[in-house]
Amino acid sequence: MASRVDANWVRLVRATLKREQLRGAGQGHERTPGGIAGAVPPSLEKATNIDAILQAADEIESENPNVARILCEQAYSMAQNLDPNSDGRGVLQFKTGLMSVIKQKLAKKGGAQIDRNRDAQLLWDFYQRYKSRYRVDDIQREEQKWLESGTFTANLGESLEMRKVIATLRALVEVMEELSKDAHPDGVGRHIIEELRRIKRSDATLSAELTPYNIVPLEAPSLTNAIRVFPEVKGAIAAIRYTEQFPRLPAVFEISGQRDADLFDLLEYVFGFQKDNVRNQRENVVLTVANAQTRLGIPVEADPVRVLDNLFTT
């Protein structure tokens, strides 16, 4: 048991260090922002995903300049809505630079007329092709295989490539959601809304990858993060799972993500805590319990309650 736990954590640390090396070389999902994406002021970066949208625009520029233009224009709209008077430090310079980038993209079209009423349709069509090329709809089947086997078989290169794809998808989805508000409700607007609902309700893999997390993806299994399959992490998740001893949650209470209810859902409902705060605390407790289980050498088959008992008595 101890050797397997040690091997798992050594493997995770090595993968993390390798990922940092690749990131430093300009590879991987967490790309170092360059160009206008690297100039997003802190006041905008904290409140929006403008930097991620602009990175996605850079990623697909050579493939589809028109879609890259749509992403840049949406990023500018977000910056304008958040700080219309450019009061924040560096905001005016950023918006000026971004507008210059947009004008350069428009100039490349040689003065051709742009029908922005078709932007939602263009973005939707590109999104469909992008998903098909990277087999995003097949990920769930692959995920089910390694979940059933209890192992994580994706190599580091495939994982990094998938994280980059997911980062681009996240940006596309966010911009599509904004554009769908002005799209025809019986046309592409309806398709986009249906896709957003599918992601949030049934597509466990994509919804997990599109949901922010710190270390452990608790909302749903993730193909790009192996930590959730570690036995001690599985045991920690089981330790906080909702039981019949807790009061029954109302039927209208929504459990976020693709997971079972746990005691943090009860805390959220009773005290009205914000979902992001609850998510952070859930992850913190899972890591604390998993770490204690590793240090104490408790067998994987141990009762989750015993895991907590040992944690609080040491």
Residue scoring higher pLDDT (303 or 261): 261
pLDDT confidence of residue 253: 85
Residue scoring higher pLDDT (1 or 3): 3
Q: How confident is the model at residue 307 (pLDDT cuts 50, 70, 90)?
A: low
d(CA 192, CA 179): 9
Domain ranges across the chain = 25-107, 116-210, 230-313
Instruction: Output the CA–CA distances (angstroms, integers) from residue 44 to 47, 75, 211, 247, in the order listed.
Output: 5, 10, 20, 41
Average the pLDDT over 120-146 and give the result.
Answer: 79
Instruction: Output the CA–CA distances (angstroms, integers) from residue 15 to 48, 86, 225, 226, 285, in the order listed.
Output: 29, 41, 10, 10, 23
Mean pLDDT value across the chain: 76
Q: Give me Rg for the CA atoms of the chain.
A: 22
Q: Is 70 exceeded by the pLDDT of residue 10?
A: no
Q: pLDDT tens, 251-273?
A: 888 887 667 889 899 999 889 88
Q: pLDDT tens, 199-228?
A: 766 555 555 555 666 777 777 666 556 677
Question: DSSP letters along 121-164, please?
Answer: HHHHHHHHHHHHHTTGGGHHHHHHHHHHHT-----HHHHHHHHH
The residues pairing with 262 across neighbouring beta strands, listed in sequence order, are: 241
Highest mean pLDDT among 12-26, 152-166, 250-264: 250-264
Average the pLDDT over 284-313 and give the result.
Answer: 69
Highest mean pLDDT among 76-80, 107-111, 186-190, 273-277: 76-80
Q: Is 60 exceeded by the pLDDT of residue 77?
A: yes
d(CA 304, CA 210): 29
Q: pLDDT tens, 288-297?
A: 888 888 777 6
| Angle between helix 156-180 and helix 2-24 axes, rounded to 10 deg | 60
pLDDT confidence of residue 166: 80
Residue scoring higher pLDDT (109 or 3): 109
Highest mean pLDDT among 106-115, 134-143, 151-160, 249-258: 249-258
User: Which residue intervals of the chain are DSSP H helices?
Assistant: 2-24, 42-45, 50-60, 65-82, 91-107, 119-133, 139-149, 156-180, 188-201, 204-210, 231-239, 263-271, 275-296, 304-313
What share of the chain in percent tops pLDDT 90?
11
Average the pLDDT over 27-49 and give the result.
Answer: 69
Q: Which of 67-71, 217-221, 283-287 has the lowest mean pLDDT?
A: 217-221
Q: Is 90 exceeded by the pLDDT of residue 72?
A: yes
pLDDT confidence of residue 5: 56
